[in-house]
Amino acid sequence: MPQSFLKTVDEWYVPLAERLAKHYAVVGRTLLIGVNGSQGSGKSTLAALLTQLLVNNFGLKAIVLSIDDFYLTRQSRLSLAKRVHPLLETRGVPGTHDVSLMYETLQQLTRENREVSIPRFDKASDNRYPESEWGKVSAPFDIVIVEGWCLGTPAQTDDELHKPVNDLEASEDPDGSWRRYVNQQIEGRYQDVNQMMDVWIMLQAPSYECVYQWRLEQEQKLAASLLQGEQENRVMTATQIKRFIQHYQRLTEHSLKRLPGRVHYLFSLDTDRRIVSSDEPRPVKVSPAR
């Protein structure tokens, strides 16, 4: 790891892991932690490092899940696209995840003496792996970390939904039916998952404008890791990325506006994704009983 990142780990992540371990010691039951951050903000790295620190430094049994592994199958999304709106074929927004499966998986990870199957999603084929290829873990866990770009995001008001926020919404969702459907999903089962979380962490991007650049960097790294013949169907162009992230713009901007005051641990990022400050907008209040 670069020296600058090791400094980030020592300065920010190790103290956070210590705090989480103390929260677990208080409750004495599975602690569920939600991590929110826009695309490319580093939430997957944060969640993985926290898990490693909790295991290695504190001897806790910890696991990390990503909302990305709970996407609906491609066939389910195609069916949804025909039934509700064509934009739902593209994975990512609320309504394109199997939230019931996610909720049940989280429940199982808190129960004793159970083998739990952890879903896996293959972004290259845009489909879920067969169940026979899912991971198997032994529950219960001391700490479960769940990361996702839309986790914890509240629903919008009717007035907020009225005006398109970009060209995608203006041209492909002129009547607002797609964004209203997405909003209805947030108000439904996504809240069931959100309410399970004991602790919320947010990586706050400086603005939505950074997300495109961060997402472009992710794609460039993916391209560099692939053989030349593999790149054609697996790597998006800059134009494709620009359109793709417009699916996320509305809720990304809404999260940046509404979530910072609601989370327990807030880390503000600069344009290079470095943590520049931290805050604790809300005190953590956890009890032994869920």
Tens digits of residue pLDDT in 265-286: 999 999 999 999 999 999 998 8
46 neighbors 201 (Cβ within 8 angstroms): yes
| Structural domain contains residue 288 | no
The CATH number assigned to the domain holding 130 equals 3.40.50.300
Tens digits of residue pLDDT in 206-256: 999 898 888 888 777 766 776 555 545 567 788 888 899 999 999 999 999
* Higher pLDDT, residue 125 or 262: 262
Answer whether residue 2 shows pLDDT above 70.
no
| Structural domain contains residue 287 | no
| Structural domain contains residue 267 | yes
* Higher pLDDT, residue 142 or 225: 142
Amino acid code (one letter) for 160: E
The span from the CA of 109 to the CA of 153, in Å, is 23
Amino acid code (one letter) for 139: A
Structural domain harbouring 228: 3-279
pTM above 0.85, yes or no: yes
Task: Report how far apart, in Å, the C-alpha atoms of 52 and of each of 45, 132, 159, 164, 225 are.
Answer: 11, 26, 43, 41, 24
The span from the CA of 233 to the CA of 216, in Å, is 16
| Structural domain contains residue 213 | yes
| Structural domain contains residue 215 | yes
| Structural domain contains residue 289 | no
Which segment of 57-61, 91-95, 178-182, 208-212 scores lowest on mean pLDDT? 208-212
| Structural domain contains residue 290 | no
For residue 237, what pLDDT is reported?
A: 82
Answer whether residue 153 shows pLDDT above 70.
yes
| Structural domain contains residue 285 | no
CB atoms within 10 A of CB 203: 22
Give the chain's length.
290
Q: What percent of the chain is modeled with pLDDT above 90?
A: 79
Q: How many domains does the chain have?
A: 1
99 neighbors 110 (Cβ within 8 angstroms): no
